Amino acid sequence: MGERMLNTVWQQHKLAISTALYLFAITLPSAFISSDGFSKALYGLLILLAIVNRARVYFWLLLPFFVLSHVALYYALFYKLPTDISFWFLMFGTNTAEIMDFMARANKPFMVIAYSAYAIIAWFCYKNMTGQYFKRPHSLGRWALIALILIPLSYAPRNNNLRDYALDVYRHFRKAYPQNLVLGYMAADLEVQKLKDLVRQPPDFAPTLVPDLKQQSASYVLVIGESARRDHLGLYGYQPNTTPNMGIQPDLLVFKDMVSYGYNTSTSIPYLMTKAPDTEMKPSFLSVFKQAGFKVYWLSNQSKYGEFDSLISSYAQSADVVHFLNTHSYTMTTPDNFDEKLLPLYQQALSDKADKKLIVLHLYGSHPDFEKRYPASANKFASAYDNSIYYTDIVLKQILKPLEQSQAMTGFVYVSDHGLALGECGEVDGHIDAKNSYEVPFLMWFNAQWRAKNPEKYRYLMQAQQQAVHTGDLFDTFSDIAGIRFAQQDLSRSFADASFQRVPRMVKAANSEMDYDKSQTGTGCHLIAN
């Protein structure tokens, strides 16, 4: 009798039950982000249900989001992040190699279980999602539901700027999957389009050079490392000694407390170059140097996803000479792919007859998988990560050597984009907002010619080695070092100037921006406000 009753209930309500299961599987990632996100996810899907009405059509329309929902679930569980605009910025700035690295390091048991569960749910729902949700005489209720739900969306935007309005809509749904997947892509694309305009037509900074330096030849080299955390460098007391070359480099300035804005490349490098978050597309210091008469080089061992499809490659396009050496290869195992491949191009840039040069080198550094980032000759320690740091030390020595021999004023700066979690957090390694992900090495060196011309700046730089500094200070510091002056420059942010004042060191954590020095480690090492 009970079995017959259950069967009757099932036959009467199988459409509602199977649809509810389908929607639950799709919106589950939002539930792990916030209750607000979960309710907004259902909000949008119910609108679509009322409009479409036919169950089988509804199933097929949502199937792509259903298929991707276990990926969004993984992102929510292991990274505590929604698939919002930041997710798409990461995708725009990621190449095939990085995707393969991510897949290789993913929690495979979870992925297998999730994939299997979602496949079973899809088959079950497909079989039972048939018919119509609203049938006469209930069709009036259907349209009443649509009208009721659409009322909040009918408000007029505060301005006529379609782009800003679109971003406002995205922000409303940023924690709600699958709406955030679609709206996040649109918002990211809009921001990249804005960046294109900045690259094509950067604002005129009208920079000038300090009079004493106008007739001086100068070459400045900025090396952007990858995934190097400060506490694994011998220079900072780590054992074994992973930096034997830099450790004996005369006149090297070693900054003890540099903090990066972001814990991933797509967030940290734009901020380093512009002192603005990645959601506020600003012109970079490349434009400042170029307008000041410097020939600008961007030499990268990372890959270029597309001319303007990557945030970082977009900034690179403002340089005079641009080279991306790494292809979309998965392996990174041959000598041709190691960071030393940049050195011939670097030598060409140094040999350029231009009187003033800025050369940016973007290394592959210590990006996972670590064992693929160095040749066999650098296999010195038990830890593959330490070996990648050791190899970077070798490359930095080769970059610095010709600067020592130059008769022009020369300067060298090395900073990593961010650090990494290396298993100490009890969850997936890699790019998470742990303390160590923000604590990066920062080195500076200047030859005797530069020091003779800039004795006071050098004194302030020596003093700053012990200060708490931030990658957001580099925009003004780097231009100040080169003797560039422009209206938008803030010398109080330059630690090469007497007026330097420390500002709150803001960092981009998983769910918000916060003051690094007023934060603490929470569950799973994630950064939380104190």
- Compare 326 and 227 and report the one with higher pLDDT: 227
- Does 334 have pLDDT greater than 70? no
Contacts of 159 (CB under 8 A, 6+ apart): 165
pLDDT mean over 184-193: 74
477 with 330, same domain? yes
pLDDT at position 438 is 96
Q: What percent of the chain has pLDDT over 90?
A: 50
pLDDT at position 140 is 65
178 with 224, same domain? no
36 with 167, same domain? yes
pLDDT bracket for residue 490 (50, 70, 90) = very high
- Compare 411 and 150 and report the one with higher pLDDT: 411
pLDDT bracket for residue 173 (50, 70, 90) = confident
Give me the DSSP letters along 318-330. Answer: TSSEEEE---S-S
pTM reported for the whole predicted model: 0.72
Angle, vertex CA 315, rays to CA 399 and CA 370, nearest 5: 50
pLDDT bracket for residue 150 (50, 70, 90) = low
171 with 253, same domain? no
181 with 227, same domain? no
User: Does some domain include residue 240?
Assistant: yes
pLDDT mean over 198-215: 84
CB 224 within 8 A of CB 269: yes
Question: Rg (Cα) of the chain, in Å, rounded?
Answer: 27
pLDDT mean over 400-426: 93
pLDDT mean over 364-383: 91
pLDDT mean over 242-265: 96
Q: What is the dihedral of CA 206, 212, 214, 217, to 10 degrees?
A: -130
- The region, left, alpha or beta by phi > 0 then psi within -120 to 50, assigned to residue 483 is left
431 with 355, same domain? yes
pLDDT bracket for residue 391 (50, 70, 90) = very high
User: Does some domain include residue 507?
Assistant: no
pLDDT at position 119 is 92
User: Does some domain include residue 513?
Assistant: no
The rounded mean pLDDT for the chain is: 85
Three-class SS string for 201-252? Answer: CCCCCCCEECHHHCCCCEEEEEEEECCCCHHHCHHHCCCCCCCHHHHCCCCC
Give the chain's domain count. Answer: 2
pLDDT at position 333 is 46
Dist. CA 173–CA 40, nearest whole Å: 7
pLDDT mean over 173-187: 80
Three-class SS string for 4-44? Answer: HHHHHHHHHHHHHHHHHHHHHHHHHHHHCCCHHHHHHHHHH
- Does 281 have pLDDT greater than 90? no
CB-based burial, 31-62: b 16+ in 10 Å, e otherwise? bbbeeebbebbbebbeeebbebbebeebbeeb
pLDDT bracket for residue 335 (50, 70, 90) = low
Q: What percent of the chain has pLDDT over 70?
A: 81
The per-residue pLDDT for range 418-439, each reduced to its tens digit, is 999 888 887 566 788 899 999 9
414 with 307, same domain? yes
- Compare 159 and 278 and report the one with higher pLDDT: 278
- Does 383 have pLDDT greater than 90? yes
User: Does some domain include residue 208?
Assistant: no
Dist. CA 457–CA 449, nearest whole Å: 13
Q: Which of 308-317, 324-333, 446-455 shows the lowest per-residue confidence on average (mean pLDDT)?
A: 324-333
Number of CB atoms found within 10 A of residue 160's CB: 8
Q: Which of 169-178, 262-271, 280-289 shows the lowest per-residue confidence on average (mean pLDDT)?
A: 169-178
131 with 174, same domain? yes
CB-based burial, 129-140: b 16+ in 10 Å, e otherwise? beebbeeeeeee
Could you give phi then psi for residue 267, rounded to 5 degrees?
A: -100, -40
Element (H, E) at 259: strand 253-259
- Does 188 have pLDDT greater than 70? yes
Cα-based distances in Å from 244 to 238, 335, 339, 342, 391: 11, 22, 18, 21, 10
- As given in the structure block, the two tokens for residue 148 are 């009721």
- Does 332 have pLDDT greater than 60? no
pLDDT at position 249 is 97
pLDDT bracket for residue 494 (50, 70, 90) = very high
User: Does some domain include residue 520?
Assistant: no
229 with 367, same domain? yes
214 closest CA partner among 406, 403, 355, 53: 355
User: Does some domain include residue 526?
Assistant: no
219 closest CA partner among 323, 295, 272: 295
pLDDT at position 341 is 93
User: Does some domain include residue 453?
Assistant: yes
In this structure, what CATH number is given to the domain that contains residue 281? Answer: 3.40.720.10
47 with 138, same domain? yes
Could you give phi then psi for residue 156, rounded to 5 degrees?
A: -80, 140
234 with 184, same domain? no
User: Does some domain include residue 207?
Assistant: no
The per-residue pLDDT for range 432-485, each reduced to its tens digit, is 889 999 999 999 999 999 999 999 999 999 999 999 999 999 999 999 999 999
Please say which residue of 162, 194, 226 terminates a domain: 194
Which amino acid is located at 213 in the chain?
A: L
The per-residue pLDDT for range 84-143, each reduced to its tens digit, is 776 776 666 555 555 665 666 667 788 888 889 999 999 999 999 988 887 765 566 666
| Domain range enclosing 408 | 216-496
Give me the DSSP letters along 54-83. Answer: BHHHHHHHHHHHHHHHHHHHHHHHHH---S
163 with 234, same domain? no
CB 272 within 8 A of CB 473: no
Please say which residue of 136, 159, 194 terminates a domain: 194
